[in-house]
């Protein structure tokens, strides 16, 4: 493979690593939002004794918050993560690259440029110390993944088996009222 091809593959690996980080960050934002809004809505609804119209409004609030989290936590960062942006992130984190990667990226479309192969060879020599994992470390990926899974696990536990009004409210919000379960608050005359 030529130096030109090797450098293009390197940029693709950088972009892939940044995308993985963006996906995991977005998933953590999404599940954290689901958990936080659910807890907030249950606390408010508990004060009101879980009225039917309040539960419906709370469900809509959860869905709206999740839509906002999906757009701004996942979609917007992924759409903004272009090849040029990935190159810019590497250049910003590693000034010793001296804009070589940016220059290569800008000229990559001009296949007839005789200096492109020389620039690629020189840039590849500098990229051997700048790995994609240095841009988004494994620890960060594990932390983001763990945070997302942790929030999801707590939310599922609250819905399935959470104690007291918190579990009752989370289950009511996410799965609806149960036919054989009496309401948490009742008025008897």
Greater pLDDT, 105 or 25: 25
Phi then psi dihedrals of residue 89, to 5 deg:
-65, -40
173-183 residues labelled b (16+ CB within 10 A) or e (exposed): bbeeeeeeeee
Q: How confident is the model at residue 187 (pLDDT cuts 50, 70, 90)?
A: low
Residue range 79-104: average pLDDT? 84
The pLDDT, as a whole number, for residue 62 is: 96
Residue range 36-53: average pLDDT? 92
The pLDDT, as a whole number, for residue 124 is: 83
Structure confidence by residue, pLDDT tens digits, 146-156: 999 999 999 99
Q: How confident is the model at residue 25 (pLDDT cuts 50, 70, 90)?
A: very high
- Whether the per-residue pLDDT at 57 is higher than 70: the answer is yes
- Whether the per-residue pLDDT at 84 is higher than 90: the answer is no
Sequence-distant (6+) residues with CB within 8 A of 53 are none
Residue range 93-101: average pLDDT? 81
| Dihedral angle computed from the Cα positions of residues 72, 15, 87 and 69, in that order, rounded to the nearest 10 degrees | 10
- Whether the per-residue pLDDT at 111 is higher than 90: the answer is no
Residue range 129-147: average pLDDT? 90
Count of residues in the chain: 189
The pLDDT, as a whole number, for residue 159 is: 92
Minimal CA–CA distance to 10: which of 184, 160, 135? 135
Token pair, residue 64, equals 């709206």
Least confident of 18-32, 60-74, 80-94: 80-94
């Amino acid at each position: 493979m030529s130096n030109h091809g090797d450098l293009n593959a390197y940029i693709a690996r950088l972009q892939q690593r940044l995308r993985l980080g963006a996906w995991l960050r977005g998933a953590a934002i999404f599940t954290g939002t689901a958990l936080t809004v659910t807890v907030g809505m249950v606390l408010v609804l508990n004060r009101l004794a879980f009225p039917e119209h309040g539960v419906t409004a709370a469900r809509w609030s959860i869905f709206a918050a999740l839509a906002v989290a999906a757009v701004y936590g996942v979609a917007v960062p992924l759409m903004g993560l272009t090849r040029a942006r990935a190159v810019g992130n590497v250049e910003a984190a590693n000034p010793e690259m001296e804009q070589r990667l940016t220059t290569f990226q800008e000229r990559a479309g001009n296949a007839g440029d005789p200096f492109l192969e020389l620039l690629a060879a020189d840039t590849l020599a500098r990229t051997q110390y700048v790995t994609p994992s240095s841009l988004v470390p494994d620890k960060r990926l594990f932390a983001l993944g763990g945070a997302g899974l942790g929030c999801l696990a707590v939310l599922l536990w609250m819905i399935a088996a959470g104690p007291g009004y918190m579990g009752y409210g989370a289950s009511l919000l996410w799965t609806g009222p149960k036919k054989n379960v009496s309401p948490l608050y009742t008025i008897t005359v």
